[in-house]
Amino acid sequence: MTTAKYAAIGGGLLSLATVALALAAATAGKPAAGLEGEKMILTVLDELWEKEREGMLNIPPSDGHILRLLTEATNAQHVVEIGTSNGYSGIWFCLALRTTGGKLTTHELDPARADLARRNFERAGVDSLVTLVEGDAHKQVTKLTQPIDILFLDADKAGYVDYLNKLLPLVRPGGLILAHNTTDCGSQLQDYVKLVTNHPELETIFLREQDRGISVTLKKRGPSK
């Protein structure tokens, strides 16, 4: 379709404004592509961090970059997040998923935060990449059946072990389990840390130990045949 002032369609003339509206309708619900799309998403992330993080327990931007990097580097097709809040960390995941072609399934207990997250996903133009599940994630995650490339835990700290035990079978070999707050909430995560550092199928390192902390756990692949 031409972007000249008028385009000949079906033997008639269509104004540029009508063409623009048609293009907008055709791309509605699809994540914006290219550098312009990335710029728009980063602008939304900046606004959320500056104006909306109070009471949301958001990850800091430096940790968001880690989520984006790991997601894109592993070419993740399915990310599962426990603890949506206002969608801030989910948008960081989507910044990578829009290039890998993957999807995010994110779980949130609080209906008000879930509604806020939906609006923020739409603002960032990534809502088509996201399935937001409301309710108790300890129950809801048992309904998941699709393989998981990255599992991100950032909800009730006492629940990390339960989430991992329920979802580890779905994490693909070579997939990652990321857990937030392993430094500042370390006293609440001793059982989780013990599990991921002693499990024979897992290999774990700890990042950002001077701040809130993120553990990065690899589900090992078996030996090649």
- Same structural domain for residues 49 and 102? yes
Residue 225 lies in a domain: no
Kindly report the three-state secondary structure assignment for every residue of the chain. Answer: CCCCCEEEECCEEEEHHHHHHHHHHHHCCCCCCHHHHHHHHHHHHHHHHHHCCCCCCCCCHHHHHHHHHHHHHCCCCEEEEECCCCCHHHHHHHHHHHHHCCEEEEEECCHHHHHHHHHHHHHHCCHHHEEEEECCHHHHHHHCCCCEEEEEECCCHHHHHHHHHHHHHHEEEEEEEEEECCCCCHHHCHHHHHHHHHCCCEEEEEECCCCCCEEEEEECCCCCC
**pLDDT 10s digits, 120-160:** 999 999 999 999 999 999 999 999 999 999 999 999 999 99
Q: Quick one: 152 and 98 in the same domain?
A: yes
23 and 41 co-located in one domain: no
pLDDT higher than threshold 50 for residue 3: no
Domain count, the chain: 2
Residues 6 and 38 reside in one and the same domain: no
- Determine the structural domain holding residue 70 and report its residue range: 34-219
pLDDT at 167 over 90: yes
